[in-house]
Amino acid sequence: MIKPNIPHNESARLAALRSYNILNTDTNEIAFEQITHLASQITGMPISLISIVDREEVWFKSTKGMNICSSDRNESFCSYAVGHENDTFVLEDIRNHKELKHHPYANMEKNSIQFYAGVCLIDSDGYKLGTLCVIDTKPNKISEQQIEALKILSKQIIKLIEFHKANQSLLNVQKELETKNESLRSFAGVVSHDMKMPLANIIVTADILRAKYGGELDAQAKKYLDYLKNSSFTLSDYITGLLNHYESDSIKEGGVYESFDLNHLLEEIIDLLNIKFDCEIHFPENNIELDCNRSALEQIFLNLIGNSLKYNDKDKIIINIDAKVTEKEYYFTINDNGVGIPEDKIEDIFTLFTTVGNTDRNGNKGNGIGLSTVQKLVMSLGGTIKVESIENQGTSFIFTIARNFK
C-alpha cells in the first residue's frame, strides 16, 4: 500500500488550516450536517464525510452513515485526495486498485470501503483544507454532474469555515473592546471622583478669599476670583457628566424594573431640578402607568428637561411633555421653546464630547456628554431617539422605550 502524497505547500497549508481554528470544534453543527446529508442524497451513497486533514490526523467535522471522529492521516483516503494533483479523487473499486487493494479500510471484515469519491475543500488562498467525500461499501460509480454538485457543496463548506473565522475575529475584537471600555470606565470613575474634592476646595477657597480680603482686592482681582470659581463649576459639571455617562451602564444593569406612575416620576424630577426661572412644564394629559427601568428613565428625563431649562433664552420657559403607549413601546416627546439647534449640527448632537456651540442661560458652553448618555440609555432599553429643532424657536426630543424589555 502506498502512502498519501504530502502537498508541496504543506507548511503554508497547515498554517492556513490553523488560522481557521476549526479543528476539534463542535461536530453537531446543523449547517455541516445538512451538507453531508445532501451529498448522500445527490450521489446515492450511504456514507458522506466532511474531513479536515491535519499534520498527522484527519478529523471529521460531519459524518453521515459512519460513526467516526478521526483517522490516522496515513490511512485516510481523504489524505490521498489532499495530496493528489487534481482537486477530485475517485476510487471506483478499491480492492482491484493495484496500489490500494491491500489498504486496511478496504479489507475489514465488516463494512469495508470499496468506493471513494472526494472533492477538496479549497480556501480563497488555494489551500486544500480537507475534503467532502462520499463512500460506499461496494464498488460504485459517480457521474460528472454528481461531482460538480459535490464541488458546489464544497464551496459552501469553505464559506461556512471562513465565516466561522470572521465571526471569531469579531468576537475577539468585541471582547477586547469590552475589556478596554471597562478599563476606561474604571479610570474615568477614579479620576473623576478624585478631582471632585480639589475642585470643591477651589470653589470654597475662592469664596473665602472674597469674603476675607474683598475690601483689599481691586476689580481685576475680583474678576480673576470669579473666573476661577466659574471655571471650577464648569469643570465640576463636566466631571459629573462624565461620571453619569460611564455609570449609565450600571443604571441599566442594576436598575429595578417596576410599575410606576409617569406623572409622579416627573414631579419628583421637577423637584430635583429646583427650578428658579419663570417656567411652565406641561405634563401628559393622559397619565400612564409604566413598567420599565425607573432609574434609567429618570436619568433620561433629567438630562432632557435639564437641557430645555439651560438652553433657553426666553423670559418664560415652556416645556411640553407628552407620552403614549403602543402595543410594543412607550413613546415620549419633550418639546421646548429654547434656543434650538443649528440644522448642520443636528446629526452630531448624540456624539460624545460634541457640542453645538450654544451657551446656556449663564453663558456657559455644554460639554457634549449629556445627550450621548441619553442616547446610550435609550438604546439600552431597546428604544430609539431623534430630535427635531428650529433655531431660535425650540427643540423636540422624541424617544421610545420597548415594553417588557429586560
Tens digit of pLDDT for each residue in 92-144? 999 888 889 888 999 888 889 999 999 999 999 999 999 999 999 999 999 99
DSSP-derived secondary structure letter, 311: S
Q: CB neighbours (10 Å) of residue 66?
A: 15
pLDDT band at 208 (very low <50, low <70, confident <90, very high): confident
CA distance 265 to 270: 9
Predicted pLDDT of residue 24: 81
Q: Which three cell numbers stand for residue 364?
A: 456657559
The CA-CA-CA angle for residues 87, 59, 28, to 5°, reads: 105
Q: Residue written as cell 449629556?
A: 370
Nearest to 33 by CA among 77, 88, 41, 151: 41
For the cut 90, the answer to whether the pLDDT of residue 184 exceeds it is no
Predicted pLDDT of residue 358: 66
pLDDT band at 367 (very low <50, low <70, confident <90, very high): low
Distances (CA, A) of 39 to 44, 146, 354, 376, 405: 8, 9, 57, 48, 43
Predicted pLDDT of residue 393: 92
CB 71 within 8 A of CB 82: no
pLDDT tens profile 19-63: 998 888 776 689 999 999 999 999 999 999 999 999 999 999 999
Among 43-52, 221-230, 366-375, the range of highest mean pLDDT: 43-52
Nearest to 401 by CA among 387, 374, 377, 382: 382
| 3 state DSSP class of 44 | coil
Among 216-220, 238-242, 340-344, 386-390, the range of highest mean pLDDT: 386-390
Indicate the pTM of the whole model. Answer: 0.53
Predicted pLDDT of residue 244: 64
Predicted pLDDT of residue 301: 94
Q: Average pLDDT over the chain, rounded to whole?
A: 87
CB 389 within 8 A of CB 340: yes
pLDDT band at 294 (very low <50, low <70, confident <90, very high): confident
For the cut 90, the answer to whether the pLDDT of residue 360 exceeds it is no
Q: Which three cell numbers stand for residue 381?
A: 432599553
CA R_g for the chain:
35
Min mean pLDDT across 48-57, 162-171, 216-225, 359-368 is at 359-368
For the cut 60, the answer to whether the pLDDT of residue 252 exceeds it is no
**Ramachandran angles phi, psi of 226, nearest 5°:** -60, -40
All domains in the chain, ordered by first residue = 10-167 (3.30.450.40), 255-402 (3.30.565.10)
Predicted pLDDT of residue 251: 58
Q: Which three cell numbers stand for residue 14?
A: 497547515
CA distance 152 to 91: 20
